[in-house]
Amino acid sequence: MIPLSWYLIFAAALFSIGLFGVLSRKNAVAILMGVELMLNAVNVNLIAFWRYLSFETMAGQVFAVIVFAVAASEVAVGLALVISVYRRRQSIVADDINLLKY
Amino acid sequence: MTTETLIWLIPLPPLLAFFLIVLFTNRSRGLSHTIAIGAAFLSWLGSMVVFLRAIQTHELGKHPFSASIPWLPLGEGWFSIGVLIDPLGAATLFFVAWTILMIFIYSVGYHNYGQPEGDHDRKGLPPHGATVVDEHGHQHTVPSVEPMYSRFFAFIGLFAFGMYLLVVSDNLLTLFVGWEIMGLCSYLLIGFWYGKPSARAAMIKAFITTRVGDVFMLLGIAYLYSQTGTLNFREILYSQEVLDSLASTPSYIAGLSAAALIGILLFIGTVGKSAQFPLHVWLPDAMEGPTPVSAMIHAATMVSAGVYMVIRIFPLLSAGSHHGALTAPMIVMAIIGAGTALFAATIAVAQNDIKRVLAYSTISQLGYMVAALGIGAYIAAAFHLITHAFFKALLFLGSGSVIHGMEHGVLHTDDHIDPQNMLNMGGLRKKMPITFWTFLIGGFALAGFPLVTAGFWSKDEILADAFGHAHYGVFITLALAALLTAFYTMRQITLTFLGEPRTKAAEHAQETPWTMTLPLVILAVFAVSAGWVGIPEHFPLLGGVVPNWFHEFVGETLLEKPKGVEFNPIPLLTSIVVALGGIYLGWLVYRNVKAGEVDPLEKPLGALYPVLRNKYYFDELYELIFIRPSIWVSEVFTYLWIDRKFIDGILHVVADVSVKVGAFLRNYIDKPVVNGSGDLVADVTKSSGRSMRVIQTGRIQQYMMMALVGFVVLSGIFYYIVQRMGVQ
Amino acid sequence: MMSPLQVIFILVSAITLGAALMVVTTRNMVRAALWLVLALFGVAILFVLLEAGFFAVAQVIIYIGAIAILMIFAIMLTRRIAQDPGPQINSTWPLAAVIALAIFGLIVLFIQGWDKTMSTPPALPDGFAPLSDLGVALVSANQYLIPFEVASILLLAALIGAIIIAWDRK
């Protein structure tokens, strides 16, 4: 059988890749993609813990459901922001969006 | 709704009305009085429901309606407050609810609702009348509406709240709260027309005089609490154990027991509130307020509250008494009560102001109740409290109606006389028939007209009790007071209503509107019928026809129901003779007083008359003993010597030194050190901010990287620590 | 010797991680989105291996069916030409890589220090129905009703917010 640690290490790797995407990509949509990868890593963790440690209580699954909802909301609002910014500034490069500069 | 819930709710509507009127509706007269009367009506309704349930309850004295909640956390428990309605409370609630509702309704007419605004009326002064032009072009002066109409209803709402709170309380503390709320309201209402200097003086006098009594009462409450650890009536008054221990604990003051000392201290509160000698001086001056206030204070609520309180604590007052012997507080009460009853009655004979006569008669009647309680006639005192509340409220409202009618005449004829002086009246029975007949009923009840009036039965019971228990001194004093009461009451009726009008204003007096006469009629019904519930069983002919319900009902309030006294014809004959004799004498002396004549008693009484007229010079005496010295102390001793010379001198020295120290600190410490370092900090902050702002790139990914670098470092440290701990 | 399940796991996770790497590095945004679809699909297979069939289906429907497609639309709406010229990676990417690796290392360290990592999944009892249990748990007042309702309000707020933000007011 598959040990729990395999899932955890897989999730950690997926999380780190997503994080790298978030930190390094220029395109705002690509940043959102990185965020999605990170959220997926979390979901893998939640489901794995549920299956391995406490499948009687549904806490892990319920949290995964809520992560789904958060991910959907985040993408909806995030993409709306991207489109809105693009409409005003003709660019979605994250570095160009620096109104809060000193 | 359970009865207990209902009792909790009874005091609330007037309080709510107070806040509603003060905060929201004070600009609308109609809305304000609707709210106030509506609230009084709700409380009345609740009171009547509670009263009806109370009289249907079997053995209410043993199982009264009571409920309490923990209120104040104390060291070893809670101080609970709650409501309690036992037979005494139910009877009190009955008369309080009726009189308060009647007074509220009466106030609408008294303050000339619906009349035009006055020509020169100002806030703080009574209305002076308004000029109107009728359809024929004639100018008339008519009464004008009270300028502070809404404020009046707000105040009496608060007053009613205080009284209801006092009646439903199950402990001395909330009773005291209600007591003090009424003290405040009486201050505000006596000085309602604060533009008049006499009203201002009266309000201060009433407040300070009652305060003297209240301080002693508070001492008594504190002493009681320290001795028993509770202020709940039932825990103290209905437990023989507590009463015995109080009666056997010495207080180290004047050889009294703790129970006696507490009883006397609490009784001093009553002396102030119910205007007993020597704190009676405030009550006649309190007539400066509007007449409904006089009725409210002197009949329905405040002075009754004082007597109600001592009746309530009667088991404590009589604690330690053996075989009917009188305890120390009871002796004090008997002496003060009987003395006040006679003393105030003599003063009332020589007063010409229609309201002042009633004020002194109130003091006298309260003395009756206190004396009755002093000789142990518990039920008779409670009975007289209730009948008196009805007929005295009736008399006050009636006198207000008379004054109102006279004021109408004064405005109409432009004849500037004092509308309250009885020598200016006469013959009003034809002008104001409803007022006359109701006033006559109230007056006869006060005089104790035999058999038909309520006052006769309650007064007769007190006299019978005094005679039956062989307290002959009290008996004779009270009988004399009763004679004088009948005399001055008839004098008042004769001067006011009978004979011919002595002034033009009296000729043009007019009956008052229905809002004023309706309460008179209702109260008159009670002034007659309230006595029938307490006819003694062994009374000739009438006894036993109607059961002595009041004795049975209120008697249950005590642990041991007191026995009725044996019937004896001597007190009965005495009370009939003094009542009828006094009435006849009063009529005989005053039937032929003509306009401009002096009082027919002035000559035969000689030097005594001015003494009575000036109330035994008590005001002057107090002025000399208390007021002058305290003014001297405050103006000369405290102000001139202590304040100006001593304290100011110290202050000047302190001020000079401070100024010098301040100058030194400023020049040598503040400017170089404090300011300098402040500037330094500012400069450093500014320059470091300037150099550090470059990291504010506005690029979200860089911020995130910085945050994560911090996170990684912190996690590494954390992991390191966890590992080390795990090794150990 | 590895069991068939272990072989499947290693294959799927390798493909997933590879796809994820392509997502964050490839220059063409449309291709990146397609790689994302593949990565998400791999995660769905892992859910199947974890005996959470509902989440596998939900993953396909929500992530691939909705989110990934939404992203492709966003990419197409925000490009003036079909190409993505120039580098798509910030100049600070080495620092980002170091941070990501450090976090990965930290997580692995923590996993190693924990004693339950080598446990195998307990057998599910006969007739165990996680889907209906999940449904009950989400709507029971003494379990997760309130988080569930809060999530629904969050979705509603996101819906309205997205409309307001993306509204073309011209």
Query: Does residue B432 lie within any of the structural domains?
Result: yes
Query: Does residue B275 lie within any of the structural domains?
Result: no
Please indicate, yes or no, whether residues B647 and B539 belong to a single structural domain of this protein: no
**Cβ-defined contact of C110 to B719 (cutoff 8 Å):** yes
What tokens does B705 get?
A: 């990287």
Please indicate, yes or no, whether residues B491 and B535 belong to a single structural domain of this protein: yes
B697 touches chain A (CB under 8 A): yes
| Helix H or strand E encompassing B371 | helix B354-374
- Is B362:B497 a contact under the CB 8 Å cutoff? no
Using CA atoms of B162, B163, B166, B168 in order, give the dihedral in degrees to the nearest 10.
-110
Mean pLDDT, chain B, integer: 83
The residue with tokens 């319920």 is A62
pLDDT confidence of B547, banded at 50, 70, 90? low
Specify the range with the lowest mean pLDDT, choosing from B311-325, B360-374, C53-67. B311-325
A95 touches chain B (CB under 8 A): yes
Please indicate, yes or no, whether residues B478 and B567 belong to a single structural domain of this protein: yes
All residues of chain A having their beta carbon less than 8 Å from the beta carbon of residue B699 are 94-95, 98
* Cross-strand pairs, B232: B171
Domain around B709: 701-728
pLDDT confidence of B544, banded at 50, 70, 90? low
3-state SS, one letter per residue, for chain C: CCCHHHHHHHHHHHHHHHHHHHHHHCCCHHHHHHHHHHHHHHHHHHHHHCCCHHHHHHHHHHHHHHHHHHHHHHHHHCCCCCCCCCCCECCCHHHHHHHHHHHHHHHHHHHHCCCCCCCCCCCCCCCCCHHHHHHHHHHCCCCCHHHHHHHHHHHHHHHHHHHHHHCCCC
In chain A, where the domains are located: 4-96
- For chain B, the domain total comes to 3
Per-residue model confidence as pLDDT tens digits over B607-627: 777 777 777 777 778 778 777
Backbone phi and psi for residue B236, each to the nearest 5 degrees, phi listed first: -90, -50
- Is A102:B693 a contact under the CB 8 Å cutoff? yes
Residues counted in chain C: 170
**Cβ-defined contact of C106 to B701 (cutoff 8 Å):** no
Per-residue model confidence as pLDDT tens digits over B254-290: 777 888 888 888 898 888 888 887 888 888 888 888 8
B704 touches chain A (CB under 8 A): yes
Please indicate, yes or no, whether residues B688 and B709 belong to a single structural domain of this protein: no
By C-alpha distance, the chain B residue nearest C103 is B712
Please indicate, yes or no, whether residues B660 and B543 belong to a single structural domain of this protein: no
Taking residues A12-24, report their average pLDDT.
92
- Please check the confidence at residue B299 and state whether its pLDDT lies above 70: no
Specify the range with the lowest mean pLDDT, choosing from B217-226, B422-431, B459-468, B554-563. B554-563
| Helix H or strand E encompassing B78 | strand B77-85
Size of interface A-C (CB pairs under 8 A): 245
Residue from A22, A47, A86 whose CB has the most chain C CBs within 10 Å, to mutate:
A47
Query: Does residue B214 lie within any of the structural domains?
Result: no
Whole-number pLDDT of residue B727: 54
All residues of chain B having their beta carbon less than 8 Å from the beta carbon of residue A23 are 701, 704-705, 708
Please indicate, yes or no, whether residues B472 and B344 belong to a single structural domain of this protein: yes
Contacting partners of chain A (3+ CB pairs under 8 A): B, C
pLDDT confidence of C157, banded at 50, 70, 90? very high
Per-residue model confidence as pLDDT tens digits over B148-165: 888 888 888 999 999 999
Backbone phi and psi for residue B372, each to the nearest 5 degrees, phi listed first: -60, -45
Hey, how many other C-beta atoms are within 10 angstroms of the C-beta on B174? Answer: 19
pLDDT confidence of C167, banded at 50, 70, 90? confident
Please indicate, yes or no, whether residues B440 and B570 belong to a single structural domain of this protein: yes
Taking residues C158-168, report their average pLDDT.
88
Per-residue model confidence as pLDDT tens digits over A70-98: 999 998 998 888 888 888 877 777 777 76
Please indicate, yes or no, whether residues B519 and B606 belong to a single structural domain of this protein: yes
By C-alpha distance, the chain A residue nearest B706 is A23
**Cβ-defined contact of C89 to A26 (cutoff 8 Å):** yes
B720 touches chain C (CB under 8 A): no
What tokens does C85 get?
A: 């010229």
Contacting partners of chain B (3+ CB pairs under 8 A): A, C
B663 touches chain A (CB under 8 A): no
* Cross-strand pairs, B257: B250
C117 to chain A, closest Cα gap in Å: 5
C70 to chain B, closest Cα gap in Å: 23
- Is B326:B334 a contact under the CB 8 Å cutoff? yes
**Cβ-defined contact of C106 to B702 (cutoff 8 Å):** no
**Cβ-defined contact of C118 to A76 (cutoff 8 Å):** no
- Please check the confidence at residue B728 and state whether its pLDDT lies above 60: no
Please indicate, yes or no, whether residues B676 and B574 belong to a single structural domain of this protein: no
B722 touches chain C (CB under 8 A): yes
B713 touches chain C (CB under 8 A): no
Q: How far apart are CA B254 and CA B236, in angstroms?
A: 24
Taking residues B310-324, report their average pLDDT.
80
B691 touches chain A (CB under 8 A): no
Given the candidates 1.10.630.10, 1.10.287.3510, 3.40.50.1260, 3.20.20.140, the CATH classification of the domain at A4-96 is: 1.10.287.3510
**Cβ-defined contact of C106 to B716 (cutoff 8 Å):** yes
Hey, how many other C-beta atoms are within 10 angstroms of the C-beta on B3? Answer: 18
- Please check the confidence at residue B567 and state whether its pLDDT lies above 80: no
Whole-number pLDDT of residue C1: 63
Hey, how many other C-beta atoms are within 10 angstroms of the C-beta on B316? Answer: 27
Query: Does residue B366 lie within any of the structural domains?
Result: yes
Q: How far apart are CA B242 and CA C69, in angstroms?
A: 86
**Cβ-defined contact of A2 to C9 (cutoff 8 Å):** yes
Mean pLDDT, chain A, integer: 86
Query: Does residue B310 lie within any of the structural domains?
Result: no
Please indicate, yes or no, whether residues B463 and B512 belong to a single structural domain of this protein: yes
- Is B716:C105 a contact under the CB 8 Å cutoff? no
Please indicate, yes or no, whether residues B589 and B627 belong to a single structural domain of this protein: no
Please indicate, yes or no, whether residues B530 and B441 belong to a single structural domain of this protein: yes
pLDDT confidence of C117, banded at 50, 70, 90? low
Residue from B715, B717, B723, B727 whose CB has the most chain C CBs within 10 Å, to mutate:
B715
